[in-house]
Amino acid sequence: MRKNNAPDDIDVITEQWQARGLETDFTAMQIAARLLRLSKTLETRIGTLHARFNLKPGEFDVLAALKRSDADALTPSALYQSMLLSSGAMTSRLDRLENKGLITRTHCTRDRRSVKVSLTTQGKALIEQVAPAHFQLLCTLLAGMTDSDKAQFANLLKGCLQLIEPRTATTE
């Protein structure tokens, strides 16, 4: 990764706290602040790309989850658990995608409470178009990093998530 010793806004904030006499290890704040800024930047850039395909935030994730699934269809609970969403948030996304003709929800004939979600022909065509553009954007955004740095950064982020992210059982 390129070494950048030029001060950024996070360094300025750290210096301001230090000037006010706060004596602490600022590393955690610096990491969190930079991750939050990185997250917002990625969300904006990815959101701009997805909007070109008439997708709202999170709709790509649903289409991608259905596309990469081994099953022809998934239950809404399997979808929202795999994406760490609430059932209400998933229902809203599914409603929008169904209204756009990108997914269908089919009730089981034996148990009307059971629903399966699947991609329509239009949804399959769209995800086949959006996915390559999505992954190309990610590669472009991180093109300044070496493969080794990307692997190391991914591993560090994974370890950080394992430390701070609450783990819940994922059952259908």
- Show the domains of the chain with their CATH numbers: 40-161 (1.10.10.10)
Token pair, residue 96, equals 């929008």
Q: Could you tell me which of 78, 76, 106 has the C-alpha nearest to residue 91? A: 76
Amino acid at 123: G
Per-residue pLDDT of the chain (172 residues; tens, 9 = 90+): 656 778 899 999 999 999 999 999 999 999 999 999 999 999 999 999 999 999 998 999 999 999 998 888 898 888 888 886 777 788 899 999 999 999 999 987 777 678 999 999 999 999 999 999 999 999 999 999 999 999 999 999 999 999 998 765 444 3
* Single-letter amino acid code for the residue at 147: D
Per residue in 86-114, pLDDT (tens digit) is 777 888 999 999 999 999 999 877 776 78
pTM of the model: 0.83
Contacts (Cβ under 8 Å, ≥6 apart) of 120: 101, 102, 103, 104
**In the chain, which ranges are E strands?**
103-107, 115-119
Q: Which two tokens stand for residue 159?
A: 């370890």
61 burial (CB, 10 Å; 0-12 / 13-18 / 19+) is middle
Count Cα atoms within 13 angstroms, Cβ side, for 64: 16
> Closest Cα partner for 64 from 97, 39, 89?
97
Treating both helix axes as pointing N-terminal to C-terminal, what angle do 87-99 and 59-68 enclose, rounded to 10 degrees?
A: 90
Q: How far apart are the first and last CA of the chain?
A: 41
The closest alpha carbon to 117, from 169, 167, 171, 59, belongs to: 59
**pLDDT computed for residue 20 by the predictor:** 95
